[in-house]
């Protein structure tokens, strides 16, 4: 545990601290109250997080269809490791969380700070991306499903003027989706699909080896310009509507969509998440990008409106590793056995 | 919903996967010089020369400081930079192609990346060890790459995306898991690849959803996993790939088990010119030999998680830009598998030999009674030198002029379903980091003194003058 270190830091900042889950989340700090200064990796300064606010809409307007409709950069990150830790929701408390699968920063654990992550290695192809991405572990018939990889798409949300997009502040925490949901979540923040399709489903559809199951999460693209986190981990950010950010969250940041690929295809699965049933799908992002590298990609790709990277199903590997393809008859039989997806999901 | 009866097909979801391959290993990479046609004007109002590291320590600083018409002239040395170019109408040139080295150290992403910026010429230098690409133009018109060496880069060697009016010539792309040379998402592209060498890559040339006044000529594709592979799919925009002109190339021994590879390179392995779902292409007077699978083949790309269906022929002339925001069909209205058939291709006057399965081939996979069969593809074959075809007697069945002989298109046809499972094993992801060092490459003439006109676009090549190449002596 890092309690000692955290106390010292807090004391230095002259802030009374109560060691609770909420105050633990306080420990992620930035140095400034504006988007500009917050993008600098400032000193480790304690700062109150935003109190929980009223419920905000959780329905992003997002890009669908073939890739490349707008300026973007894409980061591909291999699966790194798993653990029952969560540096956003349960900072400093090892083992307090449900099990997560981590991508990006190779060291993500309960004590992760953006500063520490930025100094370490990453599983992402862009080496300036030391951010952490994670989602609750997927189980199939109570067995852990090790994910294959994650792709992170960074774009201006539909309708947003790309020139208005500013970099995420260093240390910004985002959560897409509702981990407490037990019934289908409203909106498109989270959903399941096959391969590179962009239609989302509440229940995992039956996929195929060349277009396996993906969990797609779309994060908030409007920031309040002040807080890196909030008590409910949501109130400091919001989704844009019709290209506009609400006045309470006036700062446009890139719309991050992550797509996580699982080696799940054909029928016969019994899927659930470490956070609950399949409807509890959610994911987290803790920004530790190298600020100069992030600005370079936003300026060069999003603001100039060009496609700097694509991630298509052309990258799939080892899809035959699990054995020969099923015959048509076998595939149909598997579908029969699969039955209603909604039934299975509970 | 989502009942997929033909999932066995989609698993392979790509190209012909025929027998696995023997090793091919390359040596020199010298491009044989031939005249490259460049329509050029002398520089506009700028025209001064900025030196690196004389005037500026880094290439990036020099490029940022340059004005229209300027020449950024780089001295010998190793530059650990990833240069983003946003200054239009400039030339970036090395004084010696083999001694001006941009080195990404397997950390940096692109050697030179031109972003939404027109008229940028890059000449006479080497980019190696980049995680993504050696030289990359995106969203940029009038692009020109010349006397470039790109090797050991993690995606593509020399890469143009959503870019128009371009020319890549006298260059080498080597040791990338995707393509050594790639031009994608453009119609009409108005682009020329002339007198290049592409070797030790997953794919020698690849272009997804590109074509229209796109010429690949007088070039060598060898020791890749697969040679020249124009292709289509609705996972990216501007589908299908169409109207490429591939003439006078030397394509041999693309069976390389030691080359790095993305997944589709494994499926395409062992084929010389593989038209994978691209349509209305002209493939003439190429010399193609020694492939484990096919010399020249037209095959489908079965797309399983497609976003859209194949557009009707009436939309094929529509510029890419005008189709980007087309409304897509609802998920339920897209078939489980969208079959991008390779149709309307004209394969004429090629010299094809030494193919393990067939020198010439045309095929598809019929999903149901309504699907196109090989007879429906409208690919034509005439005046080729060859000894085997699939189906048998392809030139008799589907000549480019006159009627076919009415024979059986199913006789000795390609059985794509059977072949699809037999692909080479995937190499480790970092295979690209240890591909062969290219030999010394030809320098551009008078690099230190040659003028640097603003590139105005490629001149249409005189394709009719191109003859079938003679076999190299090595």
Residue B11 tokens read as 């698993």
Pairing of strands A72-83, A149-155: antiparallel
Query: Shortest CA distance to B460 belongs to which of B230, B207, B192?
Result: B192
> For position B439, what pLDDT does the model report?
95
pLDDT band at A312 (very low <50, low <70, confident <90, very high): low
Element (H, E) at B380: strand B380-382
A 118-137 residues with CB < 8 A to B: 125-127
DSSP state letter for A7: H
All residues of chain B having their beta carbon less than 8 Å from the beta carbon of residue A197 are 305-307, 331
**Distance between CA atoms of B223 and A157, rounded to whole angstroms?**
43
Check CB contact of B430 with chain A, cutoff 8 Å: no
Residue A11 maps to a domain: no
Residue A19 tokens read as 């060691």
Burial class (CB in 10 A: 0-12, 13-18, 19+), B55: middle
Check CB contact of B64 with chain A, cutoff 8 Å: no
Burial class (CB in 10 A: 0-12, 13-18, 19+), A308: buried
All residues of chain B having their beta carbon less than 8 Å from the beta carbon of residue A69 are 237, 324-325
The shortest C-alpha distance from B229 to chain A (Å) reads 14
Q: Where do we find the tokens 């109250």?
A: A33
> For position B101, what pLDDT does the model report?
98
Burial class (CB in 10 A: 0-12, 13-18, 19+), A248: middle
CB contact under 8 A, B236 and A67: yes
Q: Is residue A39 over pLDDT 50? A: no
pTM flag (> 0.90): no
> For position B257, what pLDDT does the model report?
97
Residue A1 maps to a domain: no
Identify which of B162, B178, B235 has the shortest CB distance to residue A307: B162
Contact B233, B277 (CB under 8 A): yes
All residues of chain A having their beta carbon less than 8 Å from the beta carbon of residue B176 are none
All residues of chain B having their beta carbon less than 8 Å from the beta carbon of residue A206 are 2-4
Identify which of B6, B11, B307 has the shortest CB distance to residue A66: B307
Q: Is residue A18 over pLDDT 50? A: no
CB neighbour list of residue B406: distance below 8 Å, 6 or more residues apart: none
Check CB contact of A183 with chain B, cutoff 8 Å: no
pLDDT in tens, B292-324: 999 999 999 989 889 999 999 999 999 999 998
Mean pLDDT calculated for residue range A22-44: 36
**Distance between CA atoms of A18 and A49, rounded to whole angstroms?**
13
Q: What is the ipTM of this complex?
A: 0.88
**Distance between CA atoms of B168 and B194, rounded to whole angstroms?**
6
Residue A104 maps to a domain: yes
> For position A67, what pLDDT does the model report?
86
Q: What are phi and psi of B442, to 5 degrees?
A: -60, 130
- DSSP percent split of chain A into helix, strand, coil, nearest 5: 20, 25, 55
Residue to test with chain B: of A64, A68, A302, most B Cβ within 10 A: A68
Q: What are phi and psi of B409, to 5 degrees?
A: -70, -15
Residues A182, A183, A188: CA angle, nearest 5 degrees? 115
> For position A140, what pLDDT does the model report?
98
pLDDT in tens, A123-141: 999 999 999 999 999 999 9
Containing domain of residue A153, as a range? 20-345
The shortest C-alpha distance from B356 to chain A (Å) reads 24
Contact B239, B340 (CB under 8 A): yes
Residue A15 maps to a domain: no
Contact A269, A204 (CB under 8 A): yes
Q: pLDDT tens digits, chain B, 474 residues: what are they? A: 233 333 333 333 333 333 223 333 333 333 333 333 333 334 444 589 999 999 999 999 999 999 999 999 999 999 999 999 999 999 999 999 999 999 999 999 999 999 999 999 999 999 999 999 999 999 999 999 999 999 999 999 999 999 999 999 999 999 999 999 999 999 999 999 999 999 999 999 999 999 999 999 999 999 999 999 999 999 999 999 999 999 999 999 999 999 999 989 999 999 999 999 999 999 999 999 999 999 999 999 989 889 999 999 999 999 999 998 888 998 889 998 999 999 999 999 999 999 999 999 999 988 888 899 999 999 999 999 999 999 999 999 999 999 999 999 999 998 887 667 788 999 999 999 999 999 999 999 999 999 999 999 999 999 999 999 999 986
pLDDT in tens, B199-223: 999 999 999 999 999 999 999 999 9
Check CB contact of A300 with chain B, cutoff 8 Å: yes
Query: Shortest CA distance to B290 belongs to which of B352, B236, B242, B247?
Result: B352
CA distance to A329, B73, B98, per residue, from B68 (Å): 64, 14, 27
User: Who has greater pLDDT, A10 or A240?
Assistant: A240
Residue A8 maps to a domain: no
**Distance between CA atoms of B359 and B352, rounded to whole angstroms?**
6
Would you say the C-alpha torsion B399, B401, B405, B410 has a positive or negative sign? positive
- A–B CB contacts, 8 A cutoff, strictly below: 146
**Distance between CA atoms of A253 and A171, rounded to whole angstroms?**
13
Burial class (CB in 10 A: 0-12, 13-18, 19+), B370: exposed
Q: Work out the end-to-end distance of chain A between its first and last CA atoms, rounded to an integer number of angstroms.
A: 36
All residues of chain B having their beta carbon less than 8 Å from the beta carbon of residue A209 are 7, 10-11
> For position A96, what pLDDT does the model report?
86
Q: What residues form DSSP beta bridges with A154?
A: A73, A256
Q: Work out the end-to-end distance of chain B between its first and last CA atoms, rounded to an integer number of angstroms.
A: 57
Check CB contact of A343 with chain B, cutoff 8 Å: no
> For position B473, what pLDDT does the model report?
87
CB neighbour list of residue B312: distance below 8 Å, 6 or more residues apart: none
The shortest C-alpha distance from A265 to chain B (Å) reads 10
Mean pLDDT of chain A: 80
Check CB contact of A322 with chain B, cutoff 8 Å: no
Range of weakest confidence among A28-37, A196-205, B19-28, B236-245: B19-28
Residue A101 maps to a domain: yes
Query: Shortest CA distance to B106 belongs to which of B135, B128, B136?
Result: B128
> For position B21, what pLDDT does the model report?
30
CB contact under 8 A, B233 and A64: no
Check CB contact of A305 with chain B, cutoff 8 Å: yes
Residue to test with chain B: of A65, A78, A293, most B Cβ within 10 A: A65
Check CB contact of A42 with chain B, cutoff 8 Å: no
Q: Which region, left, alpha or beta, applies to residue A302 given φ > 0 means left and ψ of -120 to 50 means alpha?
A: alpha
CB contact under 8 A, B7 and A315: no
Check CB contact of A327 with chain B, cutoff 8 Å: yes
DSSP state letter for A99: P
Strand ranges, E, within chain A = 72-83, 100-104, 132-136, 138-140, 143-145, 149-155, 173-177, 190-194, 213-218, 222-223, 237-238, 251-252, 255-261, 271-273, 282-286
Residue A2 maps to a domain: no
Rounded to 10 degrees, the C-alpha dihedral A94/A96/A98/A103 comes to -30
Contact B347, B296 (CB under 8 A): yes
Check CB contact of B143 with chain A, cutoff 8 Å: no
Identify which of B10, B108, B140 has the shortest CB distance to residue A208: B10
Residue to test with chain A: of B7, B425, B433, most A Cβ within 10 A: B7
Q: Please give the distance of CA A245 from its chain centroid, rounded to a whole number.
A: 20
Q: Give the total residue count for chain B.
A: 474
CB contact under 8 A, A326 and B8: yes
Q: What are phi and psi of B138, to 5 degrees?
A: -130, 135
B 147-166 residues with CB < 8 A to A: 154, 161-162
Check CB contact of B308 with chain A, cutoff 8 Å: yes
Residue A176 tokens read as 């897409």
Q: Considering all CA atoms of chain A, what is the largest pairwise distance in Å, rounded to the nearest integer?
A: 69
Residue A12 maps to a domain: no
pLDDT in tens, A241-288: 999 999 999 999 999 999 999 999 999 999 999 999 999 999 999 999
Q: Is residue A20 over pLDDT 80? A: no
Structural domain total, chain A: 1
Query: Shortest CA distance to B183 belongs to which of B242, B120, B132, B101?
Result: B242
Q: Give the total residue count for chain A.
A: 346
CA distance to A58, A262, A336, B20, B445, per residue, from A271 (Å): 24, 11, 17, 37, 64
Would you say the C-alpha torsion A25, A26, A27, A31 has a positive or negative sign? positive
Alpha helix (H) residue ranges in B222-344? 263-268, 320-323
All residues of chain B having their beta carbon less than 8 Å from the beta carbon of residue A307 are 138-139, 161-162, 185
């Amino acid at each position: 545990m890092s309690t000692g270190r955290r106390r010292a830091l807090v004391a230095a900042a002259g802030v009374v601290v109560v060691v609770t889950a909420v105050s633990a989340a306080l420990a992620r700090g930035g140095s400034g109250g504006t988007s500009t200064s917050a993008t600098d990796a400032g000193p480790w300064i304690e700062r109150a997080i935003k109190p929980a606010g009223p419920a905000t809409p959780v329905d992003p307007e997002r890009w669908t269809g073939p890739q490349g409709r707008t300026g973007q950069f894409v980061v591909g990150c291999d699966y790194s490791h798993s653990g029952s830790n969560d540096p956003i929701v349960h900072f400093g408390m090892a083992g307090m969380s449900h099990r997560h699968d981590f991508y990006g920063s190779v060291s993500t654990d309960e004590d992760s700070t953006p500063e520490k992550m930025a100094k370490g290695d990453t599983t992402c192809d862009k080496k300036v991306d030391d951010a952490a991405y994670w989602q609750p572990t997927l189980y199939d018939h109570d067995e852990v499903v090790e994910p294959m990889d994650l792709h992170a798409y960074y774009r201006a949300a539909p309708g947003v003027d790309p020139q208005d997009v500013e970099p995420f502040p260093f240390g910004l925490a985002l959560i897409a989706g509702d981990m407490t949901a037990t019934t289908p979540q409203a909106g498109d923040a989270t959903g399941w699909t096959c391969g590179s399709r962009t239609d989302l489903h509440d229940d995992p559809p039956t996929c195929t080896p060349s277009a396996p199951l993906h969990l797609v999460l779309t994060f908030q693209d409007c920031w309040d310009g002040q807080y890196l986190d909030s008590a409910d981990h949501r109130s400091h950010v919001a989704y844009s509507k019709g290209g506009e950010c609400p006045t309470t969250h006036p700062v446009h940041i890139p719309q991050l969509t992550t797509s996580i690929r699982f080696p799940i295809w054909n029928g016969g699965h019994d899927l659930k998440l470490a956070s609950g049933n399949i409807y509890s799908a959610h994911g987290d992002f803790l920004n530790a990008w190298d600020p100069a590298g992030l600005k370079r990609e936003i300026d060069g790709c999003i603001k100039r409106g060009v496609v700097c990277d694509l991630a298509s199903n052309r990258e799939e590997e080892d899809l035959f590793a699990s054995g020969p393809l099923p015959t048509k008859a076998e595939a149909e039989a598997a579908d029969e056995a699969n039955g209603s997806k909604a039934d299975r999901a509970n | 919903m989502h009942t997929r009866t033909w999932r066995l097909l989609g698993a392979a979801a790509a190209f012909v996967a025929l027998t696995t391959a023997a090793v091919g290993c390359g040596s020199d990479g010298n491009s044989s010089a031939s005249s490259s046609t460049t329509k050029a004007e002398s520089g506009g109002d700028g025209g001064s020369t900025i030196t690196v590291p004389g005037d500026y320590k880094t290439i990036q600083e020099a490029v940022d400081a340059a004005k229209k018409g300027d020449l950024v002239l780089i001295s010998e040395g190793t530059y650990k930079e990833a240069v983003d170019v946003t200054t239009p109408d400039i030339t970036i040139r090395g004084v010696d192609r083999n001694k001006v080295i941009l080195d990404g150290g397997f950390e940096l992403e692109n050697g030179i990346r031109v972003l939404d910026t027109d008229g940028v010429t890059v000449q006479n230098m080497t980019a190696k060890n980049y995680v993504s690409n050696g030289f990359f133009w995106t969203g940029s018109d009038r692009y020109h790459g010349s006397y470039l060496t790109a090797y050991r880069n993690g995606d593509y060697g020399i890469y143009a995306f959503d870019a128009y009016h371009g020319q890549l010539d006298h260059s080498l792309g080597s040791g990338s898991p995707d393509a050594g040379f790639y031009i994608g998402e453009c119609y009409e592209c108005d682009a020329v690849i002339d007198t290049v060498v592409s070797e030790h890559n997953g794919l020698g040339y690849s272009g997804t959803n590109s074509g229209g006044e796109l010429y690949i000529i007088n070039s060598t594709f060898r020791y890749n996993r697969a040679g020249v592979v124009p292709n289509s799919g609705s996972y990216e925009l501007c589908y299908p790939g169409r109207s490429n002109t591939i003439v006078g190339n030397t394509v041999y021994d693309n069976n390389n088990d030691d080359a790095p590879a993305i997944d589709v390179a494994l499926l395409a392995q062992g084929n010389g010119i593989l038209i994978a779902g691209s349509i209305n292409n002209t493939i003439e007077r190429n010399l193609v030999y020694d492939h484990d699978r096919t010399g020249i083949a037209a095959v489908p790309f079965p797309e399983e998680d497609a976003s859209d269906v194949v557009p009707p022929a009436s939309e094929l002339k529509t510029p890419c830009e005008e189709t980007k925001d087309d409304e897509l069909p609802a998920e339920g209205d897209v078939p489980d598998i969208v079959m991008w058939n390779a149709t309307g291709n004209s394969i004429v006057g090629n010299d094809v030999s030494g193919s393990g399965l067939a020198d010439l081939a045309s095929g598809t996979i019929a999903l149901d009674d309504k699907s196109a069969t090989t007879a429906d593809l409208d690919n034509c074959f005439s005046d080729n030198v060859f000894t085997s075809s699939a189906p048998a007697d392809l030139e008799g069945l589907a000549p480019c002029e006159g009627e076919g002989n009415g024979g059986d298109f199913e006789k000795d046809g390609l059985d794509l379903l059977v072949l699809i499972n037999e692909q080479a094993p995937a190499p480790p992801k970092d295979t690209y980091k240890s591909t062969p060092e290219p030999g010394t490459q030809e320098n551009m003439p008078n690099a230190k003194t040659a003028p640097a006109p603003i590139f105005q676009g490629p001149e249409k090549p005189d394709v009719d003058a191109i003859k079938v190449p003679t076999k190299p002596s090595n």
